[in-house]
Amino acid sequence: MRSTTTVLTAVKRLSRPIAPCSSHNLALNVQRPLRRHASTLIATTTSSTRSRFGLVLSAASFRSSSTPSNTRGYASNPYEGPSDSTRTRAAVGVSSSTSSMSFLSPPHPASSAPSSIPCQPFTLRAGAIFAVTGLGLYFYFQKEKAKIQAHKEQEHATAKIGRPNIGGPFVLTDQEGKSFSDQDMVGKWSLVYFGFTNCPDICPEELDKMGLVVKAISKSHKIDILPIFITCDPARDNVQAVKAYVQDFIPSLVGLTGTYEDIKKCCKAYRVYFSTPPDAKPTDDYLVDHSIFFYLMDPNGKFVDAFGRSMGPVEVENKIGKYLSLWNQTDGKEGWSDMK
């Protein structure tokens, strides 16, 4: 703060006109120490202090430059000391050929006007490119849409074709020794399951589930579904073995058996896989690998749906209930199950 006050005092003294003296040497002797003192203070002053007092010194320089002077820097009167402009230049330590005080003022950023991007006119070429691109995208999406639609139609057609292929004519023997054929299923809703009496766990579980579904449908829809068990092991499952086996489940369960060829034909009609050897004997000990489904057949003897082991009795009951409602709505017309 003290340096600032000293600089201001020196500037004011240099800016003030000096009265005429009788001796030119006296004026020079007075001003030389002041010039040296001001130059030393300005050199040691920080750039921020110089900027702060740049305007004051610039004003002093402007006022001094308005006084006419000769080439030597002295006033017209030989008895006057150096002119104001000379004193100002001496105070700041710059020659007359340079721009005095320029470093004391803060730099002014160059003003740059925002460049504007000229708008390009819409040409015929741009319009043609836009039109071609739009048409290309349109035809591409139309082609993809047609592919998806064709795929859906193919799946629907495959589903329709696959339904009649499950089920078909057969003639077997029930647990009472009577003949039982596919015609005995006409006019009734039926659930058909393929297994064997020596099955340790899966077959009993699935037949129990079938019994629960039959009872639930009978109670909720007042419809009696016919449960049917068909053996895949005719070598060991004769009429007596089947009769003893089905008694452990729902009373209305029908057990069917027959010759190996008859069983094979029936399994093929229902797309059931089984691994019973054709030359197996009743005394042989083996397990039978087979498909684990029971099939829902409508009163026309047509296949409706298949229910796997992963489906619980409640889920199976709900699905069968929907089929029963749809059957009633369509009066059992041909292809009614495809309307779901």
Binding residues: 199, 203, 290
Dist CA 156 CA 298 (whole Å):
20
Nearest to 323 by CA among 303, 312, 132, 31: 303
Element (H, E) at 2: helix 2-15
Cβ proximity of 234 and 259 under 8 Å: yes
Which residues does residue 181 pair with via DSSP β-bridges, in sequence order?
171
CA neighbours within 13 Å on the CB side: how many for 99?
Answer: 4
- Hey, what are 17's tokens? 């006109």
CA–CA gap between residue 108 and residue 243 (Å, rounded): 111
Q: Residues 50, 91: contact at Cβ < 8 Å?
A: no
Per-residue buried b or exposed e for 36-60, using 16+ beta carbons within 10 Å of the residue's own CB: ebbeebbeebeeebbeebbebbbeb
88 CA to centre of own chain: 74
Residue 306 CB neighbours (<10 A): 15
**Amino acid residing at 216:** A
Q: Are 327 and 319 in contact (CB under 8 A)?
A: no
- The amino acid at 40: T
* DSSP strand pairing (179-181 vs 171-174): antiparallel
- Which residues make up each annotated binding site for Cu cation? 199, 203, 290
Task: Let me know: does 80 contact 35? Beta carbons within 8 Å.
Answer: no
Distance CA 263, CA 267 (A): 6
CA gap 253, 231 in Å, rounded? 13
